[in-house]
Structure 1
């Protein structure tokens, strides 16, 4: 399910948006507070953010700019501020769209759907699933029971290779060759380091024994 984070200080608008979006099939998440926005973005890993400009503490422009230092998540400004300069600032600082309040709900939903298509053009093709674990290839994330974590390039490649060979033992040499093309120039320890980091990320979302080690043979899921 597509996950949208609402960063909006007006409780009435926040509730209306939550109801509207949930009724249209979106999962809604909120930051715990306006001082913990960036922690919430990292924790929930939303697929899209709806961001107001007039926020307590720091404005939406500052929030957008800081999010862009660690995430490329699509951001739509939804705000009562409607000058050309506001819209220009929003786009220049990393926003993907700009909608002014009061908004037409049908247009808002259409803009959200359009941005999802642009941001995730191959989403349905780039999803793998096994034993309740969902691997999002396009966004380099793994999901289990609504918990997500982001993967590095090598971690994603390891997990995708194991998914494609689910139920079978994958030799370490095959993984090394797949990851680095020429295993002669790679220390075998490099695979162990990547595997340890991947297992720790899986453990953090509740997957303690998803990748099994087969002694002197390799790995399997």
Structure 2
């Protein structure tokens, strides 16, 4: 599996160097030069680790981290020129996993990345959930339909994981939010409806007449449809 890293850095000379080292290690990488780009990329792709600069124009790194933590526990390494303890503590309180102080050694940064990826992903055995022509692969966080990979966002994967694990059970919006995104989720519960709609477009033969992910009006949703 090729791990994919989101690099968020507004200084091009730094991002070019880090990107070069990341690709040399064989990882995939996407680069955002500001917080808005970072959130857009994160919402539309799956990443296994985020390198996140703090001081950026517009939306700073702390705000980006807050938004990421609403839907994902992906490891985040903060890149910062600030050395004050209070700034590091703020990041850890929001959900940062580690800090690298600028200027930093790219080789040291790669070692930290390797440690995180090995600890979080490599030590977990692959679990594959199956239903009809669908298979959800936990180690690669990917969905296959008839053997073809379907692109998922991080939020969609986390919701599908819960649905596959609870196949045949009716789950309310509140249960789906808690199981997929945790008690600290700050979005609207109706956001689940939007996630469900996007997932149906990817897994159903006819999304307007779903057979797999069914709405139980007044109760919630059930994964498994008419097969259960």
What are the equivalent positions in structure 2 for 1:58-207 lying under 5 Å apart? 58-123=59-124, 125-126=126-127, 135-138=136-139, 141-142=142-143, 147-149=151-153, 150-151=156-157, 152=159, 153-157=161-165, 176=168, 199-202=200-203
Aligned counterparts of 1:86 and 1:32: Cα–Cα separation in 2? 21
Q: CA deviation at 1:105?
A: 2.3
Aligned counterparts of 2:12 and 2:33: Cα–Cα separation in 1? 13
What corresponds to 1:185 in structure 2? none
TM-score, L = length of structure 1: 0.64
TM-score, L = length of structure 2: 0.62
Cα deviation, 1:32-51, whole Å, max 9, x if unaligned, reads: 85424322111112111000
Q: CA RMSD in A?
A: 3.3
Of the two structures, which has the highest relative contact order with CA contacts closer than 8 Å and spacing of 6 or more?
Answer: 2
What corresponds to 1:26 in structure 2? 27
What corresponds to 1:11 in structure 2? 12
Cα deviation, 1:119-145, whole Å, max 9, x if unaligned, reads: 22544533689xxx9733257542655
SS across alignment from 1:9: coil
Aligned counterparts of 2:101 and 2:66: Cα–Cα separation in 1? 19
Cα deviation, 1:151-202, whole Å, max 9, x if unaligned, reads: 32454348xxxxxxxxxxxxxxxx74xx68xxxxxxxxxxxxxx99755234
Aligned residues: 172
8 Å contact kept, 1:50–1:77: yes
Aligned counterparts of 2:98 and 2:106: Cα–Cα separation in 1? 15
Larger Rg: 1
Q: 1:154 to 1:46 in 2, by over 3 A?
A: closer
What corresponds to 1:55 in structure 2? 56
8 Å contact kept, 2:9–2:33: no
8 Å contact kept, 2:143–2:150: no
